[in-house]
Structure 1
């Protein structure tokens, strides 16, 4: 596929371990996106994975609120760049990240932490 996907069929969202942020019915590798934006999207997917606690996912992830805010802003900027480069609407399925309110307790005693 050389052009954009049909309207309403492309979604921007994060899914842990997927390595992608764009979801749709077409060959997403063929989307007409710049190499720089492709690299940024891959970086955001990898960063999202770093926000999780892979040892035990229900426990708090490692990011403080400032890091979450920086990621959220970068993700929103990337979505706007995707829309601009494709020249079409892309569904916004992004859920902003925020510091887990129990992160301090978790970091103080990870082995003894309970919600």
Structure 2
């Protein structure tokens, strides 16, 4: 049975960037939770910790005094975040293996 996860960061979700099912899937019931509970996935503790760290770091990209305003991050910090998220996604895909599809649903702009 193939498994499908979506990878993206969501404001207010500091424990996982993973969500079950392809977008629009009416059956998002998942044995891994919604959003996914990382401890239920067959991945290393190091990868789990890195995904949580990235989620927590992402929260600092918001100006919490005025959330709809521009991010306080300079472009260099966004680039560093994207690079580290790319690495974490590659590690996640490698650890989960071929039975899993991990769809990158991050905004590209």
TM-score (norm 1): 0.73
Q: Deviations over 1:58-83 (max 9, x none)?
A: 11121001100000011111111110
Give ranges in structure 2 of 5+ residues lacking alignment: 21-29
Higher relative contact order (CA 8 A, sep 6+): 2
Q: Which has the higher strand share?
A: 2
Q: C-alpha displacement at 1:30, in angstroms? A: 1.0
How many pairs does the alignment contain? 92
Q: Which has the higher helix share?
A: 1
Q: Deviations over 1:71-112 (max 9, x none)?
A: 001111111111000003201111246xxxxxxxxxxxxxxx
For the aligned residue pairs, the C-alpha RMSD in angstroms reads 1.6
Q: What are the equivalent positions in structure 2 for 1:1-40 lying under 5 Å apart?
A: 6-7=2-3, 9-19=4-14, 20-24=16-20, 25-27=30-32, 28=37, 29-40=39-50
Give ranges in structure 1 of 5+ residues lacking alignment: 98-115
2:57 aligned with 1:47: yes
Larger radius of gyration: 1
